[in-house]
Chain A
Amino acid sequence: MFAEYTASELTSIFAMQGFAGLILFSVFVLMALGLAIIFGQMGVINMAHGEFMILGAYVTYLVSHLFADYMPESLYNSYFLIAMVLAFFVAGALGAFVEWAMIRHLYKRPLDTLLATWGLSLIMQQTYRTVFGAREVGVVLPDWLMGSVQLTDMIEIPINGIFVMILTVVITIGVAIMMQRSRLGKQTRAVVQNRPMAAAVGINTEKVDRLTFALGCGIAGIAGSAFTMIGSTGPTSGQLYIVDTFLVVVFGGAASLLGTVASAFTISQAQSTMEFFLSGSMAKVLTLLTVVGILMLRPEGLFTLKIRR
């Protein structure tokens, strides 16, 4: 299938598809980060994770409108930062509430959590549809994110894509540092490893659970915020990615953030590279099939070293 392209064309194709893959990678990583924290650290499957992400996107959309309508035009360029922070706190607060009202009663029944959060996702979707309408909404990008960078005459890279990627890197590093260094991160890991012991040394495990869940949802909110830079938002946009994201997390070996990033990279690159040569749907089928196949052979995930019982 490569025969009909020249070498330089192929290079460009791979570069362009590679870049498209990087955007997909950013979306995967942003979504998977929150999911990996919640699933990897707490063992909870949150099927409504995509809806939390979309919540962040809608918050960004609202903020952009507020700025456009009530603020001087010069400030519009900076709406995004405020929106992102707000998205984090709104999604995080809702996450904390959901943990308190629902998740904490179901910790011993992981399969039931999965069903209950699916129910939650349906409710959230319908809420979005009622409030924002069924049609997808988009934000107007600030000027500095418009346009693209011409690398060679065949390779052209949009600025908003670059921005989202930089954002992804920053957020990932931030989350990694937080899990390693911060008090919450340390407490979370302590609770994961030995809950009774953590409680015995004075960690409020219930509070840690709530904060961890809220943190995961907050990160989903930021992801949603970033998501508005590269696509429009509809009530069901979150659900489109949920299966892929779960595969990313499981494939990466639920407990490690590095694994999550590596697996998001592998899957997104494989998919977008294949997309050029096959139809989009076949590329996706092949990618998912490969991932499922590998998971059947190596259920503990590709990037974990060895798991102890």
Chain B
Amino acid sequence: MLETTKNIGKDFVLSVEGLTVSFDGFKAVNDLSFYVEENEIRVIIGPNGAGKTTVLDLICGRTAATEGSIKFKGKELTKMKEHQIVHTGVGRKFQNPSIYEDLTVFENLELSFPRGHSVFGALFFKRDKEVIEKISEIAAMIFLGDKLGMSADLLSHGQKQWLEIGMLLIQDPELLMLDEPVAGMSVSERKQTADLLHRITKDRSVLVIEHDMQFVAEIADRVTVLHQGKVLSEGSMERVQSDPKVIEVYLGH
């Protein structure tokens, strides 16, 4: 994992530059820059209030940036609306499982199927073979193959997390953003999730926020440490863990 020169023009999937957002003068993210390469798994860690979730909010358009740019595959995201950002290939999982509890697992996945996203597209959407096959495939992948007809509110917490990951997978995003995917999971669920993430992160870039250091060490290609809205340190897990600045604010107490 060499920290080679960040030459401009290298094909980063995501480049965040000079990103700043301020809420009534408080800068939750302050002049932040980082770059994610193709097929890289990047984990963002940092103490509470470091601005981790805000960074994801900014990338997916939930919060408007005050300054700076976010380029995804060369396209500027800061001016786009949420659904447009999704269509460029960014998928986002929320911290608390965000699924439709009034609908079945099948319907949850179906709504994320990347077709019929306009009003009339949705009105005349046909549940054809392609859709059913794709959903079955994804459902099997997220360990919910036998729960398709179940109402989503009956799932366990861990299963809800998987369902949301499945909803992202079906969109087949090039950049997958996961906010604490193993939070609140049992040990066995966590293991399954790590497994799942290993399988699904092939062929795409992933941005993960996670607190669980063991889990981070397991999956991360590189780690970015945020502190007070800025990058404190960046690099491989070992490098970050031995960085005295990081030890001071985060790892050691």
Q: In the complex they form, do A and B come into direct contact, defined as C-beta atoms under 8 angstroms apart?
A: yes
- Interface positions of A (Cβ within 8 A of B): 306, 308
* 3 contacts across the A-B interface (CB closer than 8 A): A306-B24, A308-B23, A308-B24
Question: Chain B residues with Cβ under 8 A from A306's Cβ?
Answer: 24
Question: Chain A residues with Cβ under 8 A from B24's Cβ?
Answer: 306, 308
Question: Chain A residues with Cβ under 8 A from B23's Cβ?
Answer: 308
Bound complex: CA of A306 vs CA of B24, how far in Å?
8
Nearest-neighbour CB distance to chain B for A258, whole angstroms, equals 18
Q: B20-46 vs A: 1/0 string, CB under 8 Å?
A: 000110000000000000000000000
How many B residues are at the interface, by size bracket?
A: under 10
Bound complex: CA of A306 vs CA of B23, how far in Å?
9
Bound complex: CA of A308 vs CA of B23, how far in Å?
8
- List the 3 closest pairs (A to B, CB-CB), nearest first: A308-B23, A306-B24, A308-B24
Of chain B, the residue at the smallest CB distance from A309 is: B63
Of chain A, the residue at the smallest CB distance from B24 is: A306
Bound complex: CA of A308 vs CA of B24, how far in Å?
9
Nearest-neighbour CB distance to chain B for A296, whole angstroms, equals 19
Bound complex: CA of A308 vs CA of B63, how far in Å?
11
Nearest-neighbour CB distance to chain B for A300, whole angstroms, equals 14
Of chain B, the residue at the smallest CB distance from A308 is: B23
The A-contacting residues of B in range 78-96, CB under 8 angstroms, are none
Bound complex: CA of A306 vs CA of B64, how far in Å?
14
Of chain A, the residue at the smallest CB distance from B62 is: A309
Nearest-neighbour CB distance to chain B for A115, whole angstroms, equals 21
Bound complex: CA of A306 vs CA of B22, how far in Å?
12
Bound complex: CA of A306 vs CA of B26, how far in Å?
13
Nearest-neighbour CB distance to chain A for B96, whole angstroms, equals 15
Nearest-neighbour CB distance to chain B for A192, whole angstroms, equals 18
Nearest-neighbour CB distance to chain A for B95, whole angstroms, equals 15
Bound complex: CA of A308 vs CA of B21, how far in Å?
13
Bound complex: CA of A308 vs CA of B54, how far in Å?
14
Nearest-neighbour CB distance to chain B for A5, whole angstroms, equals 47
Of chain B, the residue at the smallest CB distance from A305 is: B24
Bound complex: CA of A306 vs CA of B25, how far in Å?
12
Bound complex: CA of A200 vs CA of B186, how far in Å?
28
Of chain B, the residue at the smallest CB distance from A306 is: B24
Q: B158-170 vs A: 1/0 string, CB under 8 Å?
A: 0000000000000
Nearest-neighbour CB distance to chain A for B49, whole angstroms, equals 15
Bound complex: CA of A308 vs CA of B26, how far in Å?
12
Question: Chain B residues with Cβ under 8 A from A308's Cβ?
Answer: 23-24
Bound complex: CA of A302 vs CA of B25, how far in Å?
21
Bound complex: CA of A41 vs CA of B24, how far in Å?
21
Nearest-neighbour CB distance to chain B for A191, whole angstroms, equals 22
Nearest-neighbour CB distance to chain B for A304, whole angstroms, equals 12
Q: B222-233 vs A: 1/0 string, CB under 8 Å?
A: 000000000000
Nearest-neighbour CB distance to chain A for B61, whole angstroms, equals 14
Of chain A, the residue at the smallest CB distance from B57 is: A309
Nearest-neighbour CB distance to chain A for B98, whole angstroms, equals 16
